[in-house]
Amino acid sequence: QVQLVESGGGLVQAGGSLRLSCAASGHTFSSNIMAWFRQAPGKDREFVAGISWSGDITDYRDSVKGRFIISRDNAKNTVYLQMNSLKPEDTAVYYCALRRGPYPYTPGRSHEEYDYWGQGTQVTVSS
């Protein structure tokens, strides 16, 4: 059984930074696509960033490009989301997601593509 456990959320002022981590267990982590999604109150869950199994392909939603960086350490079975220049509109619960298998090579943006999810971590950005 795959388990994903997020950490690193919290309260930060606008312009600040946070680093989210997602530790995976129960599956061959290195052969999977990983992604971060978020969901704000009253809104749909949305794609934030995704990364290929080797880490050489990344994708971001437009609103976080240039501010967020997704990375992974396959030796540690962990994926990260470095969030810089945070804005109040980034406030949401952030979820880590795993899509089984290395192909398609590029990470997808639809939550329906992903097979496993973490419990979420709250990120709150104050103005």
pLDDT of residue 102: 81
The per-residue pLDDT string of the chain (127 residues; one tens digit each, 9 = 90 and over) reads 899 999 999 999 999 999 999 999 987 777 899 999 999 999 999 999 999 999 999 999 999 999 999 999 999 999 999 999 999 999 999 999 999 988 888 999 999 999 999 999 999 999 9
Report yes or no: 19 and 80 within 8 Å, Cβ to Cβ. yes
Give the C-alpha separation, 3 to 110, whole Å.
20
pLDDT of residue 28: 73
Measured CA distances, 79 to 87, 94, 107, 122, 127 (Å):
22, 13, 13, 17, 28
pLDDT of residue 101: 83
Residue with tokens 């950005």: 125
Give the C-alpha separation, 50 to 61, whole Å.
9
